[in-house]
Structure 1
């Protein structure tokens, strides 16, 4: 079954071409995810805006990549696992072991582990975290600001995993499978 067509930047209408240029500047490449999202300029704009806002948040890049890996694993998204394993190990400085641990909501970094634990609770409870989950997050030092950023990262990454899975987007990264 075919998925979303991949629009090429050179074939895009002017408004979409501008979004491609933003994606290229933000990510250094035009990934198949972006080419698929370009079928809806509104969806691509939302993705770029939320990605940009979260890049300027308090959560550091290594932890952002850990969160993306956790969501990708939870949603069995080989595209997202491939992209974020690459970014985590080649851009964010995580070791392959640390990237693998993130997929299980585990980390050697205490703050990252706390972020992953809260994100994991969000995922397994579909956003309805328990009082114990909130208490654990507060006990580990996660502020309301960080909790809201974690929620935003989970939402962004759920969105991208859904796009790549539902859209059958071809993996354009060194492949990592959710079954690995």
Structure 2
């Protein structure tokens, strides 16, 4: 059971109600994670602001979803694995093989593979990555703008993972379990 109340948009005060309405506009639904975040309108505002900004960035939705899958897998966040598997499958239309590959930090697409290599290195090393990671990303064709956005997407997804895990947010989708350590 979620460790904080899930704020109901119908009874929420301002600014939480406005932010939850903005969530519905941005995501099409109001997930429990944002209802939990609404306990701190500042946290929800920051989350939505970064989401909106990244949607306008250089990385297309399919790459952002792959990053989300890889980061959620590393952090063992069942809520985010479930939500992003659903989006990858039903909205982005990635096939099952590519979804599993993304969770493992891999892709058949060379640019996606480079993005995931960088995202996984950043996540696994708490942001401490070497020049070799940046050289490999650039050699794979990533621009500096895309590299910075990979970092921002990792941070955005870590924030979501930590909110969901720390607050034990109730999942409203079928659960997607983390892969076994042997698979990774």
Bucket of the pairwise TM-score, normalised by the shorter protein: over 0.9
Per the alignment, residue 153 of structure 2 pairs with 153
Structure 2 residue 41 is matched with structure 1 residue 35:
no
Matches within 5 A, 1:112-131: 112-131=112-131
Runs of 4+ displaced beyond 6 Å: none
Cα distance in structure 2, aligned partners of 1:68 and 1:97: 16
Deviation string for 1:98-137 (max 9, x for gaps)?
1111011111111111100111111121111112111111
Cα distance in structure 2, aligned partners of 1:87 and 1:2: 23
TM-score normalised to the size of structure 2?
Answer: 0.95
Taking only aligned residues, the RMSD between alpha carbons, in angstroms, comes to 1.1
TM-score normalised to the size of structure 1?
Answer: 0.97
Deviation string for 1:125-164 (max 9, x for gaps)?
1111112111111111111100000000000000000000
SS class of match (1:132): helix
Cα distance in structure 2, aligned partners of 1:57 and 1:92: 17
**CA shift for structure 1 position 45:** 0.1
Q: Which runs of 5+ in 2 are unaligned?
A: none
Per the alignment, residue 25 of structure 1 pairs with 25
SS class of match (1:175): coil
How many residues are aligned here?
A: 180
The answer (yes or no) to whether the contact 2:2–2:170 under 8 Å persists in 1 is no
**CA shift for structure 1 position 2:** 5.3
Per the alignment, residue 75 of structure 2 pairs with 75
Cα distance in structure 2, aligned partners of 1:179 and 1:25: 32
Q: Which runs of 5+ in 1 are unaligned?
A: none
Per the alignment, residue 144 of structure 1 pairs with 144
